[in-house]
Structure 1
Amino acid sequence: MRWWLPVRGEVVRYDAVKGYAFVAAEGLEEDVFLHVNDIDFDKTLMAVGAVVELVHEVGERGPRAVSASLVRSPVADAVQEALGGGQVPLEGPRTTAAPAPSGHAHDGFADVLSAAELRSEVTERLLASAGDLTGRQVLAVRGTVEQIARAHGWLDS
């Protein structure tokens, strides 16, 4: 039987290699099986602690998600934290947070980093703020941040 009303839940177990997760959904006694083929977001954002909204059905082996959308991800939160923006809000409009204080006077000019310096700083901040990210997730986030930095001219040539 399929339930068309979405339920919200938190990912309590995730196996990136095998491509599945289990979600503790509100109002359900059993965890819901979720395969990455049934998500409508980038699978690199999937992690334990991610909050998803899903439509599920109950089969012979228990509840199984047929579709899922992302509400909040610790991976996205880690990126925000690394960039000085704090946690991504669960609901409501997204606002741009003020940059985190750097501890030194700002002269109105941005520091230009080498690609290696940026990768090192982003990696260290991701590991410090969300140490349970997989290596693949850290690389995906770091690569995206580097692309943004290159597009804005924030890196040395």
Structure 2
Amino acid sequence: MVVFAVDTDVAVTGKLIRFDELKGYGFITPDRGTEDVFVHVNDIDMDRALFVPGVRVEFVIEEGDRGLKASDVRMLEAAPASPGGEDPAVSVPVARVEGPADGVDVLTKADLEREATELLLAGVPDLSGGEVVAVRRLILKLAERHNWVES
């Protein structure tokens, strides 16, 4: 287990990576030096409609009963909007490799990896880099098993 020194009562900045509206909590990744910080809906000092993954915030880190906890959370910068207000998972550009005459597209492994990465990052922005790589690897194995990609 990695232990970080944390200055409490000092405002820090970070980005909201997850928030469950029904449960009323989520996690913020600080810009520097600590593990992800728990945040509860009662500690948010901003319009809750704007409290979505990707929003940049300033907050104070406290030592809670179960670890680090954010308080006095204020918005610094709104989350980046997807182009045209569309669902990012739908608006990811897709490059195609010419397939057989029956209209089926066959991608190269590199193209599938790139497109899967773009889709995961746009559609599920709170995934860690390791999670993106793991999901992409599973997608590639599935595609290889069904001959959906060129070797």
* TM-score, with structure 1 as normaliser: 0.47
* TM-score, with structure 2 as normaliser: 0.49
Larger radius of gyration: 2
